[in-house]
Structure 1
C-alpha cells in the first residue's frame, strides 16, 4: 500500500527493478527498485503549454521534447535519486521572475515552474435536458393531487381511543374525568415506594441548600392542595391493601421566563419499579393530535397581527377517575421534621406518556360537545389545532 497527499492510498500490484539511462549519454545510468501501481497520476501538464513565450528554451537539449503537451506519466523518480540528477546551470524562460526555469540535469534540461497555458479560443456550449422517468412523474402527480384522508389508527391508538370513549365522563361541574389507558397488567408493577423515597430525600437536600427552590416547591404543592389537584392518599382498607399502586418520583423545573409560577413539577413516570416495569411501560401513548406545524407557521403570513395563546395548567384541568389515582402517588413534606406524606394526583399529571393525548383529546371532545355554542372557537381549533392556538387578524 502506497500513501499519498491527504492520506490517499494506492494498492501495490508488484515491484520491478529499473535501469535508467540518459538519452544523451549512455554512460549515465541509475538503478532503481520501483513499485508498480495501476496509475501514477493524471496526465501532465493538465493543459498544453504556450511555448511561443518560452523561446529561450528552443536550443536546449530537453530531457522531454514533448513537455508542452499533456501526456501519461510512466515513472516517478524518488528523492533518493533526484539530487544526483541536478547540474549547476539554469536558464530563465522570460525576463519575468515568475516565469519557468530550465534546470540542467544529467538527463537533459527539465522545465520547472509556472508555465503559460495555451487557451483554446473556441468556445463550446452544451445543452442537457433531463426528464423524470414516467413512473416517477405519475407518482409525483398522485402525491400532489391526493385528497387528504384521515389517518388510519394503529391498533394501539385505536385501543387507546376506545378506552377514552368508553370511560370518559363529566362531573357535576362539567369537568372531564378520564381513565389511565392501561395496555399492560397493573399487577406487573413492583415496589416503587423505596426508589421514590430515595429520590425525594435527594430532592429535599437540594431544597435545603436552595431556600428559593424550597419556597417555590412549597408554594406549588400548597397551590395543588388548595385547588384540589392533589390530596392525601386514603388509608388502604382490607379491600385495597393488596391492589397495586405506583409512587412517582418528581423534580422541579425552574422557568425564569414565566411571570407567575416559575416552577413546574414534573413526574418521572418512566422510573422503574422493583420488577423493572414502570407506569409508562403499561400505558398507551395515544394518537398524536398536535396541530400541523407547517399550517401554524403559514398562518403567521396571512395578516399583519398574530396572537398566540395556550391553556394555563392544561393537564391539571382534566380529572382522573378515583380508582386510577393510586397510580399517581407522590411523596412530599414541608419540613424534614415531618413524616413523609403520600399524596395522589386527582388530575392528569405532567410526566405520564398518555397525558398529551388526554389533554388534546379532551379539547377535541369539548369541541364535539360544546362547539355549536362557540362556533368561532370551534373553527379555530379545527383549523389550527388544539395544541397551540394562533389567531391572525387584519389590521
Structure 2
C-alpha cells in the first residue's frame, strides 16, 4: 500500500464496528441478499484473498495500523448472481480514516484516445478483461492489519474477524498499485513475450484490453 507515513497510527475502531455491524449498503438483511454476499466472502476465503484472524481485536496483539473497515455489497443487475464487496476506506473514526493515510500515487492509466483509435484501426475487434484486477495484486504483510473487516452470517451469532491480503475496492491507492503491477509484469516479460508485453503496455485501460486485427486467425 502507498502509505503517506510508514509510522501511521490508526485508532482502534473494533468495538465501533462490532456494535454497528452492517453487511449491506441499505441495511437490509434479506435472506437472499445475505446468501449472495456470503458466497462472495467464501470465494475470497477459498482463493486466499481474505484470511481469518483469530482474536485480532485483543489489545495486546494490536498493530498501530489496525483498521476495521465497513463494507457493503454492490449487486450488478447485468451479471445475475454476481456482485462485489466494497470496503469503505473513507469512513471516519475519531477524526481520521484509512484514506487519509494513503497516497493515490502517480496516474498510470493509459491515454484512452489512442487505445480507442487502435481498437478501430482494423476490421476485427478483440477485447478482454482481467478478472477482479485488484484481487490479483497482493498487499505487503505489514499492511494487512489496515484491511480488517467484521463478518457474520445468519443464523450464526459469532462475529468473525477477516483480513484482506490483496488490494481492495475502496482504497485510494488500489488503482495505482494494480496498474503498476500490470505494467511491471509487461516490462519484466518483454524479452520472452514481446507481443503480449506490448499489448499490456499499450492496449489496456485499467483492466480492459482493446485491440483490433486484420483477420480472425490473427485474433486467435
In the aligned structure 2, how far is the partner of 1:213 from the partner of 1:297?
A: 37
In the aligned structure 2, how far is the partner of 1:182 from the partner of 1:204?
A: 27
Show the counterpart of 1:190.
Answer: 11
Q: TM-score, normalised by structure 2?
A: 0.86
Alignment of 1:1-395 (within 5 A): 180-184=1-5, 185-187=7-9, 189-201=10-22, 203=24, 206-208=27-29, 210-235=30-55, 240-241=61-62, 243-258=64-79, 262-274=82-94, 276-385=95-204, 387=206, 388-395=208-215
CA RMSD across the alignment: 2.3
Q: How many residues align?
A: 212
Per-residue deviation, residues 118-167 of structure 1 (Å, max 9, x unmatched): xxxxxxxxxxxxxxxxxxxxxxxxxxxxxxxxxxxxxxxxxxxxxxxxxx
Show the counterpart of 1:161.
Answer: none
Q: Provide the secondary structure at the position in 2 that maps to 1:352.
A: coil
In the aligned structure 1, how far is the partner of 2:149 from the partner of 2:141?
A: 15
How far does residue 182 in structure 1 lie from its aligned partner after superposition?
1.1
Kept in 2, the 8 Å contact 1:190–1:273? The answer is: yes
Q: Provide the secondary structure at the position in 2 that maps to 1:372.
A: coil
User: Which has more radius of gyration?
Assistant: 1
- Shift of the 352–242 alpha-carbon distance from structure 1 to 2, 3 Å rule, reads closer
How far does residue 207 in structure 1 lie from its aligned partner after superposition?
4.6
Per-residue deviation, residues 80-135 of structure 1 (Å, max 9, x unmatched): xxxxxxxxxxxxxxxxxxxxxxxxxxxxxxxxxxxxxxxxxxxxxxxxxxxxxxxx
How far does residue 197 in structure 1 lie from its aligned partner after superposition?
3.2
- Shift of the 357–242 alpha-carbon distance from structure 1 to 2, 3 Å rule, reads closer
Higher normalized contact order (CA 8 Å, seq sep 6+, divided by chain length): 2
- Shift of the 242–345 alpha-carbon distance from structure 1 to 2, 3 Å rule, reads closer
**Which consecutive residues of structure 1, in runs of 5 or more, have no partner in the other structure?**
1-179
Higher normalized helix content (fraction of residues):
2
